[in-house]
Structure 1
Amino acid sequence: MAVLSKIRQRSLILILVIGFCLLAFIIGDIINSGGFGVTRNVGSVNGKDIPVQDFLQKVNDVQARQQGISPTQAANAVWSQEVDNILFEERFEKAGLRVGKDHIFNVYAQDPQVAQNPQFQNALGKFDKAKFNEFLVNMKTTNPAQWQMIEKNKGLVENAAKKQLYLTMVKAAFFATDADGKAKYASETDKASFDYVFVPYSSINDDQVKVSDEELVAYMKKNEKKYKSEASRDLEFVLIENKPSQEDEAEMKKEINSLLLPKVEYNETTKANDTVPGFASVANNEEFVNKYSDIKYDTTYVTKKQLPVEFAEQIYNLGKGQVFGPYIDNGYYKLTKMINKKGNASAKASHILVAFKGGAAPDPSITRTKEEAKAKADDLLKQVNANPGNFAMLAMTNTDDPGSKQTGGEYDNIMPNQMVKPFNDFVFNNPVGTTGVVETDFGYHVIKVTGKNEAVQLATVAQKIEPSEATTDAIFTKASKMEMEAEEKPFADLAKSLSLTVTPANKVMANDENIQGIGSQRGIVKWAYSNDTKVGDVKKFDIPQGHVIVRLKTINEKGVLPIEEAKISVLPIVRNEKKAELIRKKMEGTSVEAVAQKTGSTVASAVDVTLANPTIANVGSEPKVVGKAFGLSAGKTSGLIDGQLGVFMVRTKTIAKAPALPNYTAFTSRLNGEARQQVQGRLSNALKENADIEDNRSEFN
């Protein structure tokens, strides 16, 4: 009792101590999870979290595998894959799917890096499961690091196998009946002819029909699934490019021109002045180019086709030691000097490959013997020599080389030793026009040499055209002024006063990276979505092209389409509904002639229209109108029909039924194929549409 009494006396102290301990525990957990306002998860799908560390590791893996991919592109790809995996895993569990070794091997067999590796192929060039299995067994002891990598990805491969199996099962459940095939046949071949009277919506001016923002929102809410929209931002920006002025270009031209003339320079080695000859007279071209050029000296021989198109003729026709320039090419001022020319540098030839069984890179469908291949090649050569102009057609119908089949057997700009030796020797050792048969490991080639090219070796001094320091400073000042004054003055007016163009960037999503007109600008997107950024805020960003001043124009929350976007896609629909009401009042009468007379229109005819292509000549696509015409008996007249482009009344003249077929297998097969091709995309979209997805990835990239 005494103890309880003491506890009661110190109850306040105990409460404070316990409270302090709980607070410390919570704060510690917050610190361990990354701090206040930071989540440990990139998001979740149907309550299943996607941990940030795992996610970022996968992003790094994608970047390591795919050179040149940006962090944002990698993050978006991983996110899409993670969401898909979770949603499909739920389906696998419900279906009770399990996969075995054969399913796993099928996944590997579809990976080009595995299936096309000769180490895992049989004599026919096909993926061999036994060879691959042997490789995996040996790897565990011979290459533990690689084995660990395969073990790490085991779950991904199993999921891929399950997904493959699951999709196969779903596709098998999609089937079209004979009735479906018959209906498809009818929609494509039954034909309706009818008279109609048509009053277009365009007969009423848009300004005669007012549509409020509230009416647009109400329409979208009635069709919420069709017009739902994710959160987005509308921006506007001006780009102030950091580019050289005319004075800068004139100064650079003067500077590069001076390289054509001899000049006196102080020599650090001899401690005396030396006269340096001009570019045309200099003996050591490599030293001169590397000293004065932004692009190092290159000894490579190039063909005329590889020269700048605008100046190719002048450069190619230079004499040895002559200089052309200065000229502007790809942002550089250039001087080009002819060093050397050589003939037979590249060639153009056409060929027909006649392969045989057992040759290199075999095609299992090729069964002809080596002797039969030779005989066919000799026969084709006779046809080529008899009618040289027929070579391309002979190649397209006879060659076993898929790489040149569509070009009529032609290979252009063949470099020495690019082809196998017998082919190479024939092309480069024979004059243009020579034909013949050559044997290689791939088969027999019927070859015609169609061209030879000279190549030139050049020395080029290239100096990048860049703005001067004074120009760069002036551009920076202009951009800073725009940023500061935009806080007080209307953005468009300010841009106009500085002779700048305002560019809109609408519907920028939270995980976007590119902004049209200025490229990859993840920093701008993150700024637009920051909690500190409000509508009307302006900020200057320094980008490779110069400076961009951005204004946040609108914040569009998740829901239906933003009003500005709705005015593009929804406004015409709602406006036409209102126009239809006005037009209907004018279209009085029970016959097409009476309505035509009342509205000042004419009665027109549509002939042989099908349901599959419900297009009325000189009007456009009108599915509802054509469908109504098919539904009427001959001679019957419809009521008024609100179509895509106006209000119609139709009178059916004839319905021409196509003759019945013995069976509709071709149509049924086509329907099955089309439906099954769409299974994966439609299923994935349906799962996402019905899932509870929380997406926080914009916080991490």
Structure 2
Amino acid sequence: MAILSKIRDRSMFLILIVGLALFAFVLDPSSIQSFFSSSKINSIGSVNGEDIDREEFARQVESYRSQSGGRTSQMQAVNTVWNSMLGEKIFEDQLEKAGIVVGEKDIWDAMVSMPDVQNSPLFKNEANLFDEEKLKEYIANMKADAEDGDDAAWIGWLQTESNVKKNLQRQAYTSLVSAGLGASLKEGERDYAFNNAKVDAQYVYVPYASIPDSIAKIKKSELVNYVSDNAKKYKAEATRSVQFVKFNIEPSKADEAEVSKKVAGFINDREEYSNAAKSKVQLAGLKNATDYVAFLNDNKSDLAIDNSYKFKSQLVKEVADEVFAADLNAVVGPYKEGEYFKISKVVETIKLPDSVKSSHIVVPYAGTTRSTSTKTKEEAKKTIDSVYALVKNNKAKFTEIADAINSDGTKGKGGEIGWVRKDQAFSAGFDKDFADFIYKNKAGSVKVVETAFGFHVIRIDEQTSYEDAVKLVTYGMLIEASEETENIIFENAETLAAGLASGKDLNDLAKEKNYSVLSGLNLKALEENVPGLNNQRQIVTWAFNTNTEVGDSKRFDVDLNGKRGYAVVALTGKTEKDGAELSSSIISQVRPILVNQKKAEIIKDKMKGSSLEEIAKANATVVRNASAVTLSSPLLSGVGNEPGVVGAMSTLPIDATSELIEGVKGVFIVKVTKREDAVKLDNYDNFRKKLVGQLKGRSYQLNQVLTETADVVDNRAKFF
């Protein structure tokens, strides 16, 4: 049924293709060509009227994803490449206007000075010094290889050269802009005086919170007008809001029981019909198996062999006691652990420390792991035996020789490996022979041991206390939903989707079936994550399709944390770029501002009187005092940060009373009682430099400003 649904989903596409094929007989071929191709379709966007080619953009996106090793999603790659290409186009325009040219010598000098080039052994002479001629020869060889068809290295070099040129151009432009940023001594003096003058004042403060929100109601038209008047601050983006129910394809209790039964069938020997033998054959169960790797492989275990030892605390609680009470070669289970049903055979019992501290001296030979040694195995064995004789009873000599001949990370540490936990030692990343020696011998033991890395003299320095441990052979089967369960879940999703298609409300239908309804609010056109569903670009694309209207719904096949599932999605809201409809995020920002403005008007009507005392009394409050307030720290005790109010204090004459001031937290009226000017200085150059530093520190905003002022058309959402 899931397959039939996919065919239904694609039926309109199939009809379109067939229809176009039929029309091809009667239409002029050029009409069909123009239908599928236009300059608009081939452009991912434009900057100041210059198109960004869609095919080139797509190539760069794929290249970026390839370079990231698949660690970035498609939309992350799309956005990164877009920002890069957008920046390039904008800077190209600015460079041309500024007349900035970067010459070939500038590029060459920059490339030659790169640390990777300077330090590469490929470009060093006999004296181990960088040789520019060797670099030139290397480049010539790359170019010759490219002409013969092997162009990968040459293309990489050209790309590096292009990136260096772009960086030099940007540095030149940024330096040019920074050179124009400055401040005079007078500006430094003014900034110092402005920020360091101290003011004492009296004030009356009536907080906005003193007026109930219910009194200051805001109309939709007021929100729209405010946003329109502040369009630069509140740029309305196109958004979509959705509600959805997700259906995880999860195994039922019956599915779990069936898997448990199947796993139990592998404990004892059994008979099965063999197509090869054309008769029934006897197959060993885990209880009687001896070749455990073959047993797990032949019976298609979902878990590989695990050669590690387990303490009781490392086993699932339900079977830990049973395992440690079991006899050797007994089988425990089936039992459920995580997403698997398991049976485990006890194949070894032992006492082991939890952690071991050890040291070693290693002599590798040709062919051992990570070895560059030319020694034969026999030569290495002879060397290690000699070393062993010197160090087995002499710790100082052990340290001395380890530092002299070890080539791994223990060199300079006297050969000390440090503490290794049991789970680390018996993992796939640690050498088994090394682990066996340090865990199965006592502290103080010193012995020659051969591993995949060569011959070692290993010394066991310390061990934690010993505990009982077991080695298990475990057969596991993943608990998956059966086909029957999958069909039931699919039918539930389809039934909900059909109900929505008939005009019913999602929340009403969900309530009937006890489904949870989730929301994705104010999704933007280039987003790929839907809260609760993670990366679901397909849903965002559908929501922004020009044919999708509020109230429309659709069922999607989704991946939920690596597992298949369905999501039945309804579009519940949409706002368009610069449209009259405001998104909830903008409303949540603007509404408090308008509410406070209305409250301010109500408060102002009450703040009447000929003195601060009268005004305070009329509003059931008191006259407050502010002492030594400065613009550099505009805090009013008991109120908070009020830069506008402190700014008014700094300009008022002594004993003058201000107009009513709408502050951050409420409405104020202030009277300055004392002003202490900043102490005069002999020189204000440090303050001038501070202003210059602040200006130049904002040069990072250059790209942002250029982008905001450029004429940018962005069609990304139409293609990705």
| Counterpart for residue 226 of structure 2 | 219
Amino acid at match of 1:59: V
Deviation at 1:290, TM superposition (A): 3.1
Deviation at 1:212, TM superposition (A): 0.9
Deviation at 1:479, TM superposition (A): 0.7
- 1:524 paired with 2:544, answer no
| Counterpart for residue 559 of structure 2 | 544
Kindly indicate whether the alpha-carbon contact (under 8 Å) linking 1:290 and 1:296 is maintained by their aligned counterparts in 2: no
SS at match of 1:229: coil
Work out the CA distance in 1 between the residues paired with 2:352 and 2:76.
47
| Counterpart for residue 476 of structure 2 | 462
- 1:78 paired with 2:81, answer yes
Change (3 A) 1:135 1:37: closer
Change (3 A) 1:151 1:503: same
Work out the CA distance in 1 between the residues paired with 2:656 and 2:482.
80
Work out the CA distance in 2 between the residues paired with 1:453 and 1:121.
55
Change (3 A) 1:461 1:31: same
Residue 490 of structure 2, aligned match among 435, 460, 476: 476
Amino acid at match of 1:616: L
Residue 287 of structure 1, aligned match among 285, 291, 294: 294
| Counterpart for residue 136 of structure 1 | 139
| Counterpart for residue 503 of structure 1 | 518
Residue 274 of structure 1, aligned match among 255, 277, 282: 282
Work out the CA distance in 1 between the residues paired with 2:169 and 2:184.
28
| Counterpart for residue 176 of structure 2 | 169
Deviation at 1:506, TM superposition (A): 2.3
Work out the CA distance in 2 between the residues paired with 1:349 and 1:653.
76
Kindly indicate whether the alpha-carbon contact (under 8 Å) linking 1:233 and 1:556 is maintained by their aligned counterparts in 2: yes
- 1:90 paired with 2:93, answer yes
Work out the CA distance in 1 between the residues paired with 2:83 and 2:123.
31
Deviation at 1:626, TM superposition (A): 2.3
> Higher mean Cα deviation, 59-68 or 669-678?
669-678
Deviations 1:191-211 (A, max 9, x none): 545443222212222121221
- 1:623 paired with 2:630, answer no
Aligned residues with identical type, % of pairs: 32
Deviations 1:400-440 (A, max 9, x none): x9xxxxxxx99987979999xxxx9xx999979xxxxxxxx
Residue 710 of structure 2, aligned match among 684, 691, 696: 691
Deviations 1:676-696 (A, max 9, x none): 34323x222222222222222
Work out the CA distance in 2 between the residues paired with 1:142 and 1:273.
61
Deviation at 1:533, TM superposition (A): 1.6
Kindly indicate whether the alpha-carbon contact (under 8 Å) linking 1:637 and 1:651 is maintained by their aligned counterparts in 2: yes
Change (3 A) 1:677 1:105: farther
SS at match of 2:233: helix
Change (3 A) 1:431 1:164: farther
- 1:265 paired with 2:271, answer yes
Amino acid at match of 1:283: T
Amino acid at match of 1:552: L
- 1:679 paired with 2:682, answer no
| Counterpart for residue 6 of structure 2 | none
Deviations 1:183-229 (A, max 9, x none): 66667765545443222212222121221111111111111111112
Change (3 A) 1:499 1:688: same
Change (3 A) 1:170 1:579: same
Amino acid at match of 2:577: K
Deviations 1:620-652 (A, max 9, x none): 322212222333355543332111121122334
Which runs of 5 or more residues in structure 1 are unaligned? Answer: 1-23, 351-400, 402-408, 433-447
Deviation at 1:498, TM superposition (A): 2.1
TM-score, with structure 1 as normaliser: 0.72
| Counterpart for residue 371 of structure 1 | none
Change (3 A) 1:128 1:88: farther
Deviation at 1:143, TM superposition (A): 5.8
Amino acid at match of 1:517: G
Work out the CA distance in 1 between the residues paired with 2:166 and 2:588.
42
SS at match of 2:232: helix
- 1:591 paired with 2:598, answer no
SS at match of 2:86: helix
Kindly indicate whether the alpha-carbon contact (under 8 Å) linking 2:197 and 2:630 is maintained by their aligned counterparts in 1: yes
SS at match of 2:36: coil
Change (3 A) 1:266 1:184: farther
Within 5 A, what are the aligned runs for 1:97-246? Answer: 97-101=100-104, 103-104=106-107, 108=111, 119=122, 132-133=135-136, 135-141=138-144, 145=151, 146-151=153-158, 154-178=161-185, 191-246=198-253
Deviation at 1:654, TM superposition (A): 4.7
Work out the CA distance in 1 between the residues paired with 2:654 and 2:317.
67
| Counterpart for residue 55 of structure 2 | 53
Which runs of 5 or more residues in structure 2 are unaligned? Answer: 1-25, 360-408, 410-416, 445-459
Work out the CA distance in 2 between the residues paired with 1:690 and 1:52.
23
Amino acid at match of 2:711: D
Deviation at 1:114, TM superposition (A): 6.1
- Name the Cα RMSD after superposition: 4.7
| Counterpart for residue 381 of structure 1 | none
Deviations 1:457-516 (A, max 9, x none): 654433323222222212111111111111311222222222222222222222222222
Deviations 1:290-323 (A, max 9, x none): 3456534245658989968989998998997677
Work out the CA distance in 1 between the residues paired with 2:127 and 2:205.
65
Kindly indicate whether the alpha-carbon contact (under 8 Å) linking 1:197 and 1:596 is maintained by their aligned counterparts in 2: yes
Change (3 A) 1:500 1:107: farther
Deviation at 1:163, TM superposition (A): 1.6
SS at match of 2:51: strand
SS at match of 1:507: strand
Amino acid at match of 1:264: R
Residue 491 of structure 1, aligned match among 502, 506, 515: 506
Residue 297 of structure 1, aligned match among 284, 288, 304: 304
Residue 69 of structure 2, aligned match among 45, 67, 70: 67
SS at match of 2:272: strand
Work out the CA distance in 2 between the residues paired with 1:658 and 1:430.
76
Change (3 A) 1:627 1:104: same
